[in-house]
């Protein structure tokens, strides 16, 4: 009886304690497989887009100022095409002036009657995430921000991004644009995109315009230095050298923060020959509180994972032939077959402990064949298929777009088309062979 009474007493005392532990300490968030707390994340190899890690990477989420990577891409493209120049000047209008004076937002104040070069505006965008400067770039490229949205959507489609929604050039909530948000968008709309599409945008920005890193790696610069308008621009990427969350090898790319999107960051870092790109969206700490530290801690975890756990492996050398199919049959050619081989060495960043789990497989492009034959003439180097790396167990996240880039299987030699006389003899031979085979089949049928 005493023991039973003691148990009741212990339970009576423990219940309130458990309730306090459950509710008094505030909400906690379960660790992801990486131990980070985010709504979405992805890590890729910047060289070929191999996805090294993904967490809820296909769900559209707020992207905030990571939007500005699209504005930067379109700016670099316009510069390359000669449509505008770095020295071209922009004249401030009522819209950009009003937004630039809102110090709640990231901005460099613009004079109402001022003019600014595209280079000045771009540096304010890339380093300080200046919003009015971003709108000024958009207006320079398209006339109005409303028209610029069309350019953003067209480029997103061209780059193969999915599930995106652009409502402005900056990534702000439209409610911050003082009633001057682009036509056709809602007063409280905000840009959204999945982490995978954000990573693909960053991937193409670095591939096509790597010079962006010359600016994004600058930790501090003065806007209009030496004038009364001078303002210190500290890069919002606090992982750059000299800042509180400094990380070896980082040199970009774009932070983003709004109430809707939370704390986001698209980062890139290089160590040796290895460069990775990471995206974290709505990062929080273990208690669910969003902060700059939370997004940089999550990014650090992804970077560390990529640099320490992965290595580049050559799975197939150039000229490699698959034992089970070293040739393809040819019709109407001077040769009956043609040798096929892997064009370039196939390298891929994989988890070092899992490199033995990958097997190269030959995939022939059936659209290049007719009834199982290649048709002459065939040029040397003609692509006839590709190599697919298959992981025998565990998860493989694939690539940011398609299969392994450059994993082509090609014809090792040229095969000329046979002359008309040879083709005629071959046709006659095929005709009589068909008759003979048909006769044999008929006779066999009689004696069944």
Residues with a known catalytic role: 65, 68, 129
Sort strands 383-391 and 408-411 into parallel, antiparallel or unpaired: antiparallel
Structure tokens at 70: 């699209």
CA dist., res. 199 & res. 206, Å (int): 11
**DSSP3 helix / strand / coil % (the chain, rounded to 5):** 35, 25, 40
Q: Residues 6 or more apart from 428 whose CB is under 8 A from it?
A: none
* CA 265 – CA 43 distance, rounded (Å): 12
By DSSP bridging, strand 408-411 and strand 220-223 are unpaired
Q: Could you tell me the two tokens for 117? A: 């070069």
What is the DSSP-derived secondary structure letter of residue 229? Answer: T
Tokens of 444: 């066999």
What is the per-residue DSSP string for 91-116? E--HHHHHHHT-TTSS-----TT-EE
What is the crossing angle of helices 145-159 and 68-80, to 10°?
Answer: 90
Q: What are phi and psi of 52, to 5 degrees?
A: -95, -25
Residue 329 contacts residue 376 (beta carbons within 8 Å): no
Evaluate whether 133 touches 121 at the Cβ level (below 8 Å). Answer: yes
Q: Which residues pair with 350 in a beta bridge?
A: 311
């Amino acid at each position: 009886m005493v023991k039973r009474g003691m148990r009741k007493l212990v339970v009576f005392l423990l219940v309130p304690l458990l309730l306090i532990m459950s509710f008094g300490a505030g909400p906690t968030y379960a660790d992801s497989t990486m131990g980070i707390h985010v709504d979405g994340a992805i890590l890729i190899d910047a060289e070929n887009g191999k996805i090294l890690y993904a967490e809820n990477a296909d769900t559209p989420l707020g992207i905030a100022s990571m939007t500005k990577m699209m504005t930067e891409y379109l700016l670099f493209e316009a510069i390359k095409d000669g449509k505008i120049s770095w020295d071209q000047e922009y004249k401030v209008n009522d819209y950009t002036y009003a937004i630039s004076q809102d110090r709640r937002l990231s901005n460099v104040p613009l004079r109402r009657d001022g003019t600014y070069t595209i280079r000045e505006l771009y540096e304010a965008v890339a380093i300080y995430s200046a919003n009015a400067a971003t709108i000024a770039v958009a207006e320079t490229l398209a006339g109005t921000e409303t028209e610029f949205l069309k350019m953003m959507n067209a480029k997103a489609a061209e780059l193969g991004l999915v599930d995106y929604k652009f409502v402005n050039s900056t990534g702000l909530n439209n409610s911050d644009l003082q009633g001057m948000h682009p036509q056709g968008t809602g007063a409280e709309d905000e840009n959204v995109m999945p982490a995978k599409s954000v990573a693909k945008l960053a991937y193409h920005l670095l591939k096509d315009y790597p010079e962006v890193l010359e600016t994004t790696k600058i930790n501090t610069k003065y806007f209009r230095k030496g004038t009364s308008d001078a303002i210190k621009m500290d890069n919002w990427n606090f992982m750059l050298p000299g800042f509180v969350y400094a990380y070896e090898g980082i040199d970009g790319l774009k932070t983003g923060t709004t109430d809707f999107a939370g704390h986001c960051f698209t980062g890139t870092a290089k160590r040796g020959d290895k460069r990775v790109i990471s995206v974290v969206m709505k990062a929080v700490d273990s208690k669910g509180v969003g902060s700059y530290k939370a997004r940089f801690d999550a990014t650090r975890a992804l970077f560390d994972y990529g640099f320490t756990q992965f290595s580049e492996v050559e799975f197939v050398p150039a000229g490699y032939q698959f034992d089970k199919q070293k040739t393809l049959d040819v019709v109407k050619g001077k040769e009956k077959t043609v040798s096929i081989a892997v064009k370039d060495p196939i390298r891929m960043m994989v988890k070092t402990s899992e490199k033995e789990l990958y097997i190269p497989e030959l995939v022939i492009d059936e659209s290049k064949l007719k009834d199982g034959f290649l048709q002459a003439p065939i040029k040397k180097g003609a692509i006839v298929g590709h190599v697919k790396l298959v992981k025998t167990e565990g998860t493989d996240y694939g690539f940011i777009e398609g299969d392994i880039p450059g994993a082509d299987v090609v014809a090792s030699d040229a095969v000329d088309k046979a002359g008309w006389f040879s083709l005629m003899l071959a046709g006659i031979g095929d005709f009589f062979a068909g008759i003979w085979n048909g006769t044999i089949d008929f006779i066999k049928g009689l004696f069944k």
